[in-house]
A and B are shown apart, each in its own frame.
Chain A
Amino acid sequence: MTDSPASQEADASQAELAVTLRNVTKVFDNGVIALGPIDLEVRRGEFVSLLGPSGCGKSTALRLMAGLNVPTSGSVHVQRRMAKLSGSHPVGFVFQEPTLMPWTSVRENVRLPLKLAHVPRAQANRRIDEALAQMGLSEFADAYPRELSGGMKMRVSLARALVTDCDILLMDEPFAALDEITRFRLNNDLLALWRSLRKTIIFVTHSVFESVYLSQRVLVMTARPGRIAAEIGIETADPRTEDFRTSAGYAAYCRRVSDALAPSYRGGSA
């Protein structure tokens, strides 16, 4: 059940694709058509945002990629690389809520994926320390989730995804519940992380500004059933900084993305 249903035709052109969705639809048990059909290709190392109104199926698409749900039709293919470390997992998932276990410490929360994969304790400890340091959490290792702020909890959630050394990071509106200052900081940290680790990141959001700031490519989705309405590449000088947030280019991209998004609001029920 944990493996995503994959059509295993791996020809040469697909070699560098991390995630491929072909003609994927999802119909829920209650008959609601949540998604599709959509086609989607994400290259290895790419940062892609899925942008759309609430209930447009973008989270559903993400859950399909993670193998948490099974598509009604079509195929979902997630490219796996040879695992370098034991307990590696091709896909890391960050939920909208931090989704931490309240009954145990930050360290034990981050340990979870390694524990489930029976990674030897000494090795696990080393990797946990590394992941905590990466997210700036070293001094909070023994704190309990309730003692942390919302932003800190999200960092723990990210550290837990990173500790598996995943290739692909799926993020489902991870910063939606945070205040703007915290969100901007986490945006910058995530970009720095992406630059240094070169992971493939698929980022679901309903914020135009966040999607333009973070990603190389924004996929705009329509309201239910979710389809991909437009695809907009964001091209700027690579190390994006706070300057980008106030630049004319950024504003122009935001306008283009907003325009692409507008029909899905008019057409939808909202």
Chain B
Amino acid sequence: MSAPATDGRPPRFVRIGLPVVLLAILIVAWELVVRLKDIPPYVLPAPSAVFTTLIVDWGVLSQSLLVTLLTTFEGFVAAAAGGIALALLFNLSKWLEYSLFPYAVVLQVTPVIAIAPLLLIYLPQPIAVVVCAWIVAFFPVLSNTTLGLNSVDRNLAGLFQLYGASRWQTLRLLKLPAALPFILGGLRIAGGLSLIGAVVAEIAAGSAGAGSGLAYRIAESGYRLNIPRMFAALLLLSAAGIVIYGLLALTSHFMLRRWHESALGKES
């Protein structure tokens, strides 16, 4: 555990290597403790047992992973489209913003886990799950897009006015590009949140016995004391979240790298 910090920032391999080494140490320690103490798998499964379950149960788990990912994706797309569209409407009409924005906040601050059971009563389960993901994820898109649309350079707006730009031209050529970094930031948060929304809804639906997503597998395995499978499903969920975040961050980087400060490398 030696990190030779010569001048401020340690080298790249230390920054990446350190958490990896820490993970390896933890896994080995965990495995050793379980083996040496002879802890039964229904109390605490060893990492090797979790890994074995992941392979043996891959058929069931991968099916569930696909279901959860699809829900997350649908919720994310709905949140992105809904959030951006709503922000654009707010930008066009202050009246609409004043009348609707408080309810967007209410929807955001009410815990989704408390809304989910109600949604499951009134909506068919596949739709209720997507709506849950949407409720959690749309707000950051909405508020970030609103912020972005309002942060247009005043002189540039004057220039568009001077040259007689139409509303549509101003939106397409000025407001949306100016808001893009903010929108991408909102989407990055929304990606993780829609996964959370999907999981919450699946858990709520799980007790109704109709789900088949990863979160449902976790709940179901819990009832059956199949603890290794709980860990395996959790591992997959976590990996899914990391991949979603990574993909969105990468998209954001490629869309902004030519001009925005946030995406500029140290070399420039």
Q: Is B a genuine binding partner of A?
A: yes
Chain B interface helix/strand/loop/mixed: helix
Measured CA separation A265–B159 after assembly (Å)? 32
Is the pair A99, B258 in contact by a Cβ cutoff of 8 Å? no
Give me 13 A-to-B residue pairs in the complex whose CB atoms sit less than 8 angstroms apart, sorted by A's number: A2-B162, A89-B164, A91-B162, A93-B158, A99-B153, A102-B259, A103-B178, A112-B173, A116-B165, A116-B173, A146-B259, A146-B264, A164-B163
Measured CA separation A68–B156 after assembly (Å)? 12
Encode contact with B along A84-127: 1 for CB under 8 Å, 0 otherwise.
00000101010101010111100000001101110000000000
CB of B155 within 8 A of chain A? yes
CB of B174 within 8 A of chain A? yes
CB of A32 within 8 A of chain B? no
Chain A residues whose CB sits within 8 angstroms of the CB of B260 once the complex forms: 102-103
Partner of B164, one of A95, A102, A104, A116: A116
CB distance from A55 to the nearest CB of B (A): 17
Chain A residues whose CB sits within 8 angstroms of the CB of B165 once the complex forms: 116
CB distance from A30 to the nearest CB of B (A): 17
Chain B residues whose CB sits within 8 angstroms of the CB of A2 once the complex forms: 161-164
CB of B67 within 8 A of chain A? no
Measured CA separation A112–B170 after assembly (Å)? 11
- Additional A-B contacts beyond A2-B163, A103-B180 (10; CB < 8 A): A1-B161, A63-B158, A68-B158, A68-B161, A95-B158, A116-B160, A116-B164, A116-B169, A116-B173, A117-B164
Chain B residue nearest to A172 (CB atoms) is B155
CB of A144 within 8 A of chain B? yes
CB of B209 within 8 A of chain A? no
Is the pair B155, A117 in contact by a Cβ cutoff of 8 Å? no
Encode contact with A along B241-266: 1 for CB under 8 Å, 0 otherwise.
00000000000000000111000100
CB distance from B268 to the nearest CB of A (A): 8
Chain B residues whose CB sits within 8 angstroms of the CB of A93 once the complex forms: 158-159, 162
Chain A residues whose CB sits within 8 angstroms of the CB of B178 once the complex forms: 103
Measured CA separation A102–B177 after assembly (Å)? 9
Measured CA separation A97–B169 after assembly (Å)? 22
Encode contact with B along A126-164: 1 for CB under 8 Å, 0 otherwise.
000000000000000000111000000000000000001
Contacts from A to B (Cβ < 8 Å):
1-2, 63, 66-68, 89, 91, 93, 95, 97, 99, 101-104, 112-113, 115-117, 144-146, 164
Residues of B in contact, count (CB < 8 Å):
22
CB distance from B169 to the nearest CB of A (A): 6
In B192-209, which residues have CB < 8 Å from any A CB? none
With A66-B162, A67-B162, A68-B162 known as contacts, the answer to whether A101 contacts B156 (CB < 8 A) is yes
Is the pair B162, A101 in contact by a Cβ cutoff of 8 Å? no
With A112-B173, A115-B173, A116-B169 known as contacts, the answer to whether A99 contacts B155 (CB < 8 A) is yes
Measured CA separation A115–B159 after assembly (Å)? 13
Chain B residues whose CB sits within 8 angstroms of the CB of A95 once the complex forms: 155, 158-159
Measured CA separation A161–B165 after assembly (Å)? 15
CB distance from A95 to the nearest CB of B (A): 5
Chain B residues whose CB sits within 8 angstroms of the CB of A68 once the complex forms: 158, 161-162
Is the pair A99, B159 in contact by a Cβ cutoff of 8 Å? yes
Is the pair B259, A99 in contact by a Cβ cutoff of 8 Å? no
CB distance from A141 to the nearest CB of B (A): 15
In B173-227, which residues have CB < 8 Å from any A CB? 173-174, 177-178, 180
Measured CA separation A93–B159 after assembly (Å)? 8
Measured CA separation A90–B77 after assembly (Å)? 45
Is the pair A116, B155 in contact by a Cβ cutoff of 8 Å? no
Partner of B163, one of A101, A103, A117, A144: A117
Partner of A144, one of B162, B173, B259: B259
CB distance from A86 to the nearest CB of B (A): 13
Chain B residues whose CB sits within 8 angstroms of the CB of A117 once the complex forms: 163-164
Chain A residues whose CB sits within 8 angstroms of the CB of B174 once the complex forms: 101
Is the pair B163, A99 in contact by a Cβ cutoff of 8 Å? no
Measured CA separation A99–B264 after assembly (Å)? 20
